[in-house]
Amino acid sequence: MESCLVYESPSVWGFLVGVLLALGIYVSYVPQHVKIINRRTSEGLSPLFLFLGSTSGFSAFVNLLLTTAPARQCCVSELDRFQCLNSQVGLIQVGVQTVGYTLILVLCAHLTRPRIETPDSDGAKIARSYKWFLVYAGVNLAIAVYFLVFVTDYSKTLKFANLSGLVSTVLATGQYLPQIHTTYVLKHPGSLSVHMMMLQTPGGYLWCYSLFMQPGSRWSSWLPYFTAASLQLILLLMCLYFRETHPEQQNDGSPLLV
């Protein structure tokens, strides 16, 4: 299979960088996880921000799951173990990111349940967002499995993969608008971890480049992360600006996490 040739000369250095990026992606979410656990509140986190981010991440995961399908077919007959594993680094990275971000929504949904008082409270909105995310993820995963198992024309699979990438980009764009608004109104990050964003923003651009350089890379796979990194940079600059210009508004439950 001629298409397998692109996977047959993997760089050991590139593989190690890809694995370190995957580890770094998850570690970058740990400050946010810990901050929510310590504060026991989702204050400062827009429910829509969490929902759009989770659905955007899952759409990107579906995109990579489908675009890396030819590489997995090559793994069966033409690639050795290292070549096969290297061809799936992008999928692993996106999978790790999806788990790391979605865990924020999961923690907020469970830790804010005792605070739910009215249908319009943030806790109730986050609980609803969590339920809708489960529906969205289930439907998209079912469609992806259908394409992988029953559709033999890869061009059709690729069309849906590109659509998932575009949906992820649109959701990532919309994700930051409510969070930027929430941060602007509060004039402080609240439960939004600045440390997390300081790790993720430069890492996001590096990750985007890594996905771009992956064998068999598609534009629909790296575009969502370039968009997200650019918008996250704007949000990070806002948080740093408000911390300097409105110190009286800063209300952080933990001195170790910004």
CA pair distance 50, 179, nearest whole angstrom: 9
Spans of the chain below 70 pLDDT: 1-2, 113-120, 248-258
pLDDT of residue 2: 45
d(CA 91, CA 100): 14
Evaluate whether 107 touches 36 at the Cβ level (below 8 Å): yes
Cα pseudo-dihedral 22, 200, 105, 89, rounded to 10: -20
pLDDT at residue number 117:
52
| Number of C-beta neighbours around residue 109 at 10 A | 20
**Are the beta carbons of 176 and 230 closer than 8 angstroms?**
no
Which of 236, 134, 143 is closest to 183 using CA atoms?
236
Question: pTM of the predicted model, to two decimals?
Answer: 0.81
Q: What per-residue confidence (pLDDT) applies to 101? A: 94
Residue 114 has what pLDDT?
53
- Token pair recorded at residue 51: 């929902």
Give the model's pLDDT for residue 39.
85
Quick one: DSSP state of residue 112? T
Q: Are 254 and 39 in contact (CB under 8 A)?
A: yes
pLDDT at 143: 98
Contact by Cβ (8 Å): 69, 148? yes
Residue-level pLDDT at 255? 33
User: Residue 63 corresponds to which amino acid?
Assistant: N
Give residue for tokens 């300081």: 198
